[in-house]
Every structure is written in C-alpha cells, then in structure tokens.
Amino acid sequence: APKGCTIEVTLQDTGNPFLTPIDSPMIQKAAEAYQNVYGQSPVYKREGGSIPIVSDFNQALNAPVVLMGFGLPDENLHAPNEHFNLENFDKGILTICSFLELI
C-alpha cells in the first residue's frame, strides 16, 4: 500500500488446489487432440485462476479433470476490451471433438 494508507483484507472463500499430472493418460489424449487440429503440441501452462469446483469434480467423480484452453494472452480475459479470436473458437470446437473421439 502507498505510504500512509492502511489496507484491510477479508478472506471470503477458498478452494482446494488441484493439478492433473502432465503424464496423465487424459492429458496425453488432450495433447493429441491439439496436435490433430493445430498441427503442433500444446504449451503446458499452470493457469486457471480460481476454479474451486475442479478439485470437487475430481474428488466426487474420482476421475481425472482436463482443462483445455483456447484463448490468447492478449485477449484481456474478464477485462475491458475482452475478445476471443474466432479462428481459435472454431479450432477449439474441433479440438474438443477430436479429444472426445480419442477418449
């Protein structure tokens, strides 16, 4: 905080962290789907922000959870001038279809 300012933070909610290992068979199928559509391997990024239900899904379903992204860093997700590249939207649909066929 700037000098002379006081900040009070109140924790309102939390979620359990979650990570599906990159060597998981489901992650490998997702990577294959990206390869099928984009012609190259995906970049693995540990992102996701706060999606607390992912851990709950994993525990309740006792199944691996795969989060597949199609946005680009400059698309201003949840910010002013948010947008989504239509080519990636179309390829995202094809990638999900490929993934579902592979599993």
* 33-90 pLDDT tens trace: 999 999 999 988 887 667 888 889 999 999 889 999 998 889 998 899 999 999 999 9
Kindly list the distances between the CA atom of residue 101 and the CA atoms of 30, 32, 43, 63, 97, in Å, as whole numbers in the listed order.
Answer: 10, 11, 21, 18, 6
What value does the mean pLDDT take over residues 13-37?
93
Q: Which pTM value belongs to this model? A: 0.80
- What are the start-end ranges of the H helices in 2-85? 25-38, 53-61
Fold of 25-102: DNA polymerase; domain 1 (1.10.150)
Asked whether 89 and 83 are in contact (CB, 8 A), the reply is no
Judged by DSSP in three states, 84 sits in coil
Asked whether 95 and 38 are in contact (CB, 8 A), the reply is yes
How far is the C-alpha of 53 from the C-alpha of 59, rounded, in Å? Answer: 10
Q: Cα-flanking dihedrals φ and ψ of residue 62, to 5°? A: 50, 45
How far is the C-alpha of 17 from the C-alpha of 65, rounded, in Å? Answer: 13
